[in-house]
Amino acid sequence: MLLGVLKGILIGGLVGGLWVFGLGTPLVAGFLGYVAAILTGVCAALVAGKPIWARGAWIEVLLKSVAAAVLGFGVMYGVRNWLDTTLSAGPLGQGLLSELPLVMLPLVATVLAVFFEIDNTDEATNASDADGTQRRRVAADSESSHSIEAELESEGVDERRANNKLQ
């Protein structure tokens, strides 16, 4: 959970910094606030939980990104309707909470990153089943697959011989 908080603050701070210093808009009002929250949610989904660069993670990250866009919009909507208050954050700006990108976007990213990190708990570390038996992974290399094929072929020959004797 602590890793989710750290990732959320970093992601939200980066997106908020790009919004304020890159686009030059210290306040995001109206529709732009929702766009910023959706963008922040998608960025959080790409990095938090199972990141996009993990092997075989692109489908999960794609689904997380869609969910994060909706959740980012929902968090912004909730803050604007029920938690919006005037805030003076010193050098970060002054205005409504939902209009300050350097305050609101880290909040959105942190909520989503914590959610994704908790969702990504690694259940595979426990190598035993519920009944206490251990699972084993069977990997077939070229030698063992050839020996298994040879065994199957010899069994097939024995079965044919037995069938011929019965006739």
**What's residue 28's pLDDT?**
82
Residue 82 above 70 pLDDT? yes
Contacts of 97 (CB under 8 A, 6+ apart): 79, 83, 84, 85, 86, 87, 103, 104
Nearest to 4 by CA among 51, 72, 63: 51
Q: CA 115, 12, 112 angle in degrees (round to 5)?
A: 10
> Measured over all CA atoms, what is the biggest interatomic distance in the chain, rounded to whole angstroms?
96
Query: Tens of pLDDT along 100-139?
Result: 888 888 989 998 989 888 887 766 555 455 555 556 666 5
pLDDT value at position 160?
A: 59
17-29 tens-digit pLDDT: 888 888 887 788 8
Token representation of residue 32: 């732009």
Q: What are the boundaries of each domain within the chain?
A: 2-123
Chain centroid to CA 91: 32
User: In this predicted structure, what is the pLDDT of residue 135?
Assistant: 60
Computed over every residue of the chain, the mean pLDDT equals 78
Span 27-59, pLDDT tens digits: 888 888 899 999 999 999 888 878 888 888 788
Whether 81 shows a pLDDT value over 80: the answer reads yes
Please give the residue that has the higher pLDDT: either 68 or 54: 68
Q: What confidence score (pLDDT) does residue 159 get?
A: 60
